[in-house]
Structure 1
Amino acid sequence: MDIPYLPLRDGNKIPMVGDTTFNQELVDVAEIAIRKGFHHIDCAEMYDTEQEIGIAIKKAVAQGIDDIAAALDHSLEKMQLTYFDLYLIHVPFFAKSDSDFQEKSIGVSNYLRPHLEATLKTATDPPVINQIEYHPYLQRADSFLPWMREHGIQVASFKGLTPAFRCPEGPLVGCLSRIAEAHNTKETSILLAWLIQNGVIAITTTLQPKRLDDYARALTLKLTNEELHEISDVGSKFHFRTSWQEKFEESDRA
């Protein structure tokens, strides 16, 4: 499977579609995903799946060569790996010098613009990616995505399939169904294609191996400009956030 890569400003590159690992039941699916060519695996210590996912990775691919200092050591030990391609930081902390970490790339997760502005003032090796909840119902306000890209920060999306799974009765239901029928595919493939064609890395997850083929279909889809605009326009008129709702006002689209 030919998954497109997005270049990062530090010279590395990242697959445009990633597979997240939130539940131990995903271990077998993770191995299948890797063998199918999904080499972007999204994991976190809080998911409590690192040891199992590490076994799946070890079965499917060869190990690398570097190690990571401090907190990364614990994750690497559980996953039976020796380096990460990308390490995402979920709290307002960042390395002060290149010697703090030896991974290929460093990114952040759930950072808002004030967090990034503070980080960029002090980090000698700034983040190359910010992974945030992003989908047609949460397209972010105040030109956040263009601002990040102007500062060399690419965007990765989690919960990108929210209109299909979390808000199936939302205003996009008819639009997605019609576009999916026109392309002879599923609504989930349309949503992933919308992300990819907008230059956003799509993080997916599933307990059903057959859905991986639906997700892979998004890589060959070419939505028209009219279809892309319609999804964005209809989605922007409805606001829904799945994560950290208690941290935001109901109308806050930051």
Structure 2
Amino acid sequence: MTGIPSITLNSGHSIPTLGYGTGTAWFKKGDENVVDRECVEAIKTAIRLGYTHLDGAEVYKTETELGLAIKESGVDRSKLFITTKVNNNIKDIPGAIRASLKKLQLDYVDLYLIHSPFFATSDTDHQTAWREMEAVHKAGLAKSIGVSNYLPAHLSAILQTCTITPANNQIEFHPYLQHPGLLEFHKEHGIATSAYGPLTAVTKGAPGPVDGVLEGLAAKYGVSGAEVCLRWCVDQGVVAITTSGKEQRLKDYLRISSFKLTPEEIKQISDEGAKKHYRGFWTNKFDKDDRS
């Protein structure tokens, strides 16, 4: 993707810092076997526009659509970075990834994640699951392995016994949920951070204290507040995963390659964002005021 930087994971593989997600807007509530052609076409549009990082998950029920879009796009597999996640079939990770790969029509994924830590009732549960993730990696089914929605306590359990450190933790991250302690933990252990819900400050979390800052920076750089939010992530070395079914909006998001926030501007957004707390996902698992 021209102008969109990549970062190198601890596995040695590079991950583009802007990704197209196939959850949220495309999350399938009905029969998984019924193909959503609108979703397929939206993913193909994203690929055509230059999105090479595509993010899926077992629980989204859109792996079949993602696989069809990849195949129909005609883009060489080696040019794409594909992520998927295990959730429902966490008790059989090797079986889960093989089922996902069949739906994706792929031989491997670039990144395979445990979707959440909430299946576990003990450190041993985390460690057992992670051993299966390591086996999947060693079998060549996933080039990199990681987690999602994990907190330091969950990561610490894995780090006690792992032979492969998680490459990535995908978390809800935006100006109103900044996780300073968690991000510091990631840096200490060489774990990359990916953000889902990076536009929350201008969508679910609006109105709020960052509105004026985002408006001013959007005017300065000739972009939208959403694009400023994406750049705020990328300029901190955080991978941003977003989505849309609208081609123009996807084109606009690519404009984040045209500008870079100054350290002062990043801090300004962060400082204003810290004045409000908002969590848009997994609200049934965290207390209302929990900033973990």
Task: Tell me whether the two structures share a fold, i.e. TM-score over 0.5.
Answer: yes
2:216 & 2:77 partners in 1: Cα distance? 44
Is the 1:135–1:159 contact (alpha carbons within 8 Å) kept by the matching residues of 2?
Answer: yes
Corresponding residue for 2:81? Answer: none
The alpha-carbon deviation at position 99 of structure 1 amounts to 3.7
Alignment-mate amino acid for residue 76 of structure 2: A
1:48 matched to which residue of 2? 61
What is aligned with 1:11?
12
Q: Share of identical aligned residues, percent?
A: 44
* Per-residue deviation, 1:97: 7.8
Q: Secondary structure of 1:94's match? A: helix
2:22 equivalent to 1:21: yes
Aligned amino acid, residue 85 of structure 1: D
Is the CA contact 2:195–2:241 (under 8 Å) kept in the aligned structure 1? yes
Counterpart of 1:139 (choices 178, 181, 184) is: 178
Contact 2:133 2:145 survives alignment (8 Å): no
Distance 2:143 2:242 in 1: 22
Amino acid at match of 2:107: T
Deviation (angstroms), 1:169: 1.1
Q: After TM superposition, give the deviation of residue 252 of structure 1 in Å.
A: 1.2
RMSD, aligned CA: 1.6
- The equivalent of 1:38 in structure 2 is 51
Equivalent AA in structure 2 for residue 55 of structure 1 = L
Q: Structure 1 residues 15 and 167, CA, compared in 2 at 3 Å: closer, same or farther?
A: same
Counterpart among 111, 114, 120 of residue 89 in structure 1:
114
Report which of the two has the higher share of helix.
Answer: 2
> How far, CA to CA, are the matches of 2:171 and 2:185 in structure 1?
14
- For residue 192 of structure 1, what is the aligned residue in structure 2? 230
- 1:243 aligned residue: 281
Alignment of 1:1-254 (within 5 A): 1-2=1-2, 3-22=4-23, 23=26, 24=36, 25-60=38-73, 61-63=75-77, 69-90=94-115, 91=117, 92=126, 93-95=129-131, 98-101=134-137, 102=140, 103-141=142-180, 143-254=181-292
| Residue-by-residue CA offset, 1:148-192 (whole Å, 9 max, x unaligned) | 111010000000000111122111111111110111111111000
Deviation at 1:63, TM superposition (A): 3.9
Unaligned 5+ runs, structure 1:
none
SS of 1:10's equivalent in the other structure is: coil
Q: Which amino acid aligns with 1:15?
A: P
Task: Give the Cα separation in 2 of the matches to 1:193 and 1:80.
Answer: 32
Task: Structure 2: state its 5+ residue gaps.
Answer: 27-35, 79-92, 118-125
Q: Please, which moves more after superposition, 20-29 or 147-156? A: 20-29
**Separation in structure 2 between the aligned mates of residue 168 and residue 247 of structure 1, nearest angstrom:** 22
Q: Distance in 2 between matches of 1:9 and 1:189?
A: 28
Give the C-alpha shift of residue 219 in structure 1: 2.0
In the TM superposition, residue 33 of structure 1 has moved relative to its aligned partner by: 1.1
Partners of 1:121 and 1:70 in 2: CA distance? 25
Contact 1:130 1:154 survives alignment (8 Å): yes
Q: Is the 8 A contact 1:89 1:109 kept in 2?
A: yes
Q: Letter of the aligned partner of 1:89 in structure 2?
A: I
TM-score, scaled to structure 2: 0.82
Structure 2 distance, partners of 1:14, 1:94, is 21
How far, CA to CA, are the matches of 1:98 and 1:144 in structure 2? 23
1:96 deviation in Å?
A: 5.5
Indicate conservation of the 8 Å contact 2:22/2:62, yes or no. Answer: yes
Instruction: Rate the CA distance shift 1:100–1:78 in 2: closer, same or farther, 3 A.
Output: closer
SS in 1 for 2:264: helix
Give, in angstroms, the shift of residue 107 of structure 1: 1.1
Q: Secondary structure at the match of 1:56?
A: helix
